[in-house]
Structure 1
């Protein structure tokens, strides 16, 4: 099983893609799967995301306790930036 930090990183990375590409069914399906796995494997609830110029802050409840994790914007946004830079490689089928 992956760590909570790794799972949140993956969840947030695909969330940014799904949010930026609402017609991308693959991104939406992948986000849905990652969201389900995050909740089922780690019992995380009430997830919220805030972004500033430098970091993403993911707040959540774990076993009834409020927790948070931070991720650099440049790491999380790298996937959507790559897709936007070469859209011909990432067509929505």
Structure 2
């Protein structure tokens, strides 16, 4: 399947599973239990091996943090601006 879509992967070390090479974070898990509830399958796994691309993982986390701060700084400034604007509007009549 991965070859059909040209997705780069390698075989896992501990479990016979594919590990995507472009993933920021990946786990190899041994299936401990599974249950079907209606049309959902719940699978419980025990982590056997982890992989992390430190350069990409931390850069993406940094960019998400910067985006979060930037987004909510603008929201805070907008709220502050609205408060100042309404205060001016209402203090003119006092």
Q: Does the TM-score normalized on the shorter chain lie above 0.5?
A: no
Structure number with greater CO (CA < 8 Å, separation at least 6) is 1
Give the structure-1-normalised TM-score.
0.25
Give the structure with the higher percent helix: 1
Structure (1/2) with the larger strand percentage:
2
When Rg is computed on C-alpha atoms for both structures, the one with the higher figure is 2
